A and B are shown apart, each in its own frame.
Chain A
């Protein structure tokens, strides 16, 4: 039985930092999912499978000598194409959001099987130069892979936010999501925009995948380990928003980390999910 232990300030701060880092990854994973769900009305479970596929590809290319971050140059365009292509195929069928959940679940199984057949079910860890570096700031450790993840998460979230808010494309996407027929009547090029968006969501997943490869050990079954908490971050933040998954992810990550720092870590999910429930019940009513 672990009671409440008062942690040192450093411990607490380091834990909060740790929570921020893992929360940033939740946010980065959740970004594409939120956009897809909110703006394309597709609940894309396969998002996680694609992230892992990208992670494995990064691992593979890095093991063959390429710098892990440089693999982004190959991986991002590849997954953009995959995402757009898949959407082009699926757009032929009228799919409700919950049907898309099923279809992408099937897709997840296929991708998982693919990963397992190429890389086996064993754990794979990318050992890179990045993993060796860390910075020290005011007594706190900031590892480089985590910093990269945070930077990418923040940067991409803001970029997407800016596009959605300030560009014509962004406005067109939001309009189509609110009322597709009327948007089309106003001349918004829905098919093209949807393909762009689907490709972008996939590309975002692949970036998250590279971050996963940098910091975590990979296994095909791990795909499912992230689904629950990232869905939580996405739904907490509200769908179709750019900054919200990141903020929600960090809230969840930090609440769990702080719990683990001050009391029995096995209670962490209770705290983060109860916090989630409380926020959902008491925040002012928001239209999803």
Chain B
């Protein structure tokens, strides 16, 4: 297969490829325009009001970089914001630092704090979802208590009224406004940029299915730490600026559940999947709260805010921004598929590609794999058979790093892989499909495959990866569905998506886990043909299957597992006749048939 395949878009008119620099230019231009506001001679309070809005934009957007993108909802943003506040206030009040120099230090302190926390927390499996939220909230209270009990604050608060505000703008208020404008611009640019990079794609994959992402080659631990670090650093800067704005900081104002709750509110209201969503939410909520400051009906105003929030969320569950964007005409980008890579040179076909020795995996006493020795030869299609519960899926999980083996070795192309992180195994050239397809639900079909191309296959930019991905979609016959979401596909298509995804990383070894289950006979024929094409273009295939005619048609050799152990090995037709194999599948014969 060769030559470019272009997307025939469905009913949506194709658009010219938008310049990727359109967005940052727009952001910077807007910021430059806003920088002139202080010169307009408006009453200074507008500077302060805008400062507050920009301040919350920084906080919400920075929160979203970790929590919205990866799905690790943190309730600890107050801790990092507070760390920034107190770093600046300590440097200003005790050490007489110039204000602007405290800001990078505030960012650094908050970042180090966050990364130190993340380094421990992200290592522990199972710290997801609510547990992560609680941990981060607990950290907020811990840090607050430490600060209030030590000379950093000591309980009396820190007064910064004697500190001169640098004259960046015509008035002090405009100085804060300009500083916050700079911080907000930086934050928005960072948030946007992340979404266009491989890093951002990885974060979104973590959000959808962290385990699958890891197995596909996303270095999840490292990426989460980086996202957390960036998020905290930006919050630290916001804190540093805010310290001087307040000019009197107390622990009770900062280390509470209010800041984290507010940023969650703003981001969810605006839309967490979009880089600009939190900013929209920040503007909306700040203005909403501000508009009810007239004294006459302050209490009623508070109730109104509640009503408006509820209405907004109920009618715009994905957030304001996505709802607004839906109203714009949708234009699908044209993605041109690249050429299918040439088949891997059949060097030494028949040499051992993968060798496991004594590979074992136990789960609290249950021996799923009891020590198996398997050789997989380059260029073959190896069938992995056995009754249910015999350890076939466990084998695949152990080889790909989804599980850490309890014992044994896995040598691939001469390198020991057992015990290594799953994403490194993926990078080494092994990929797999899941028996029940696990596509990333919020990404398009194309992006699902592109992810594999980037992470397992090592392609550096999303654009190039998408091009590659289109090739593999065409290979699997799914190019029409490139811009659909996985929930729009039927089972057969989702299985093929799994295959395309497995291939996009250009693996030398593909492990297929019951790819035919649930398919109709004609779909099975298609799948069998595809598996053959997979081997023909250069990958070795290990193929877990129950459908016997496929096994007979496709495999060069088979191995049979039973109760976690290797039972038999050899040519398919021959192995299936062996009595111990038949017993394993069907049980002992009940009665001797008279005319056997």
Contact = CB atoms under 8 A, between A and B. Distances in A.
Q: Are any A and B Cβ atoms less than 8 Å apart in their complex?
A: yes
Interface of A: 37, 90, 93-96, 98-99, 101-103, 105-110, 112-114, 116-117, 224, 227-228, 231-232, 235-236, 239, 264, 266-270, 273-274, 276-277, 280-281, 285-288
Nearest to A275: B138
Interface in B315-347: 315, 317
B309 A269 contact: no
Nearest to B305: A109
B351 interface: no
Nearest to B117: A277
Interface in B283-341: 299-300, 302-303, 305-310, 313-315, 317
Given A93-B314, A93-B317, A113-B299, A106 B127 contact: no
Contact of B268 (A99, A107, A285): A99
Contacts of A236: 134
B129 interface: yes
Contact of A113 (B268, B302, B308): B302
Interface in B37-53: none
A223 to B, nearest CB: 12
Contacts of B302: 109-110, 112-113, 116
B124 A102 contact: no
Interface stretch (B257-265, B369-377, B456-464, B513-521): B257-265
A232 B142 contact: no
B5 interface: no
Contacts of A231: 134, 137, 257
B126 A270 contact: no
> What 3 A-B pairs are tightest by C-beta distance, nearest first?
A285-B126, A109-B306, A106-B309
Contacts of A232: 134, 137-138
A117 B300 contact: yes
A288 B313 contact: no
A277 B138 contact: yes
Contact of A107 (B120, B131, B306): B306
A107 B257 contact: no
Interface of B: 73, 120-121, 124-131, 133-135, 137-139, 141-142, 144-146, 148-149, 155, 256-258, 261, 264-265, 268-269, 299-300, 302-303, 305-310, 313-315, 317
A250 B560 CA distance: 53
Contacts of A113: 299-300, 302-303, 306
B310 A101 contact: no
A150 B300 CA distance: 37
Contacts of B145: 266-270, 273
Contacts of A37: 130
A228 B305 contact: no
Contacts of B149: 264, 266-267, 270
Nearest to A46: B306
A228 B306 contact: no
A12 B258 CA distance: 34
Contact of B131 (A90, A105, A267, A288): A288
Contact of B307 (A94, A102, A110, A268): A110
A235 B309 contact: no
A231 B145 CA distance: 18
Nearest to B67: A98
Nearest to A100: B313
9 contacts: A37-B130, A93-B314, A93-B317, A106-B307, A108-B306, A232-B134, A235-B131, A277-B138, A285-B126
A101 to B, nearest CB: 7
B309 A102 contact: yes
A87 to B, nearest CB: 13
A110 B125 CA distance: 39
B137 A228 contact: yes
Given A101-B265, A106-B307, A224-B257, 14 more contacts: A90-B314, A93-B315, A102-B309, A103-B310, A105-B265, A107-B310, A224-B258, A270-B142, A273-B139, A276-B138, A280-B131, A285-B124, A288-B129, A288-B131
A179 B261 CA distance: 29
Interface centre among A105, A227, A264 (most CB of B within 10 A): A105
B139 A277 contact: yes
A228 B142 contact: no
Contact of B141 (A98, A108, A269): A269
A109 B258 CA distance: 13
A264 B146 CA distance: 12
Give the residue among B125, B137, B300, B308 with the most A Cβ atoms within 10 A.
B137
Interface centre among B126, B146, B300, B308 (most CB of A within 10 A): B126
B386 to A, nearest CB: 28
Given A106-B305, A106-B307, A281 B124 contact: yes
Contacts of B142: 269-270, 273-274, 277
Contacts of B308: 106
Contacts of B307: 106, 110
A103 B126 contact: no
Contacts of B137: 228, 231-232
A123 to B, nearest CB: 17
A109 B131 CA distance: 26
Nearest to A120: B299
A117 B300 CA distance: 8
B257 A228 contact: yes
A93 to B, nearest CB: 5
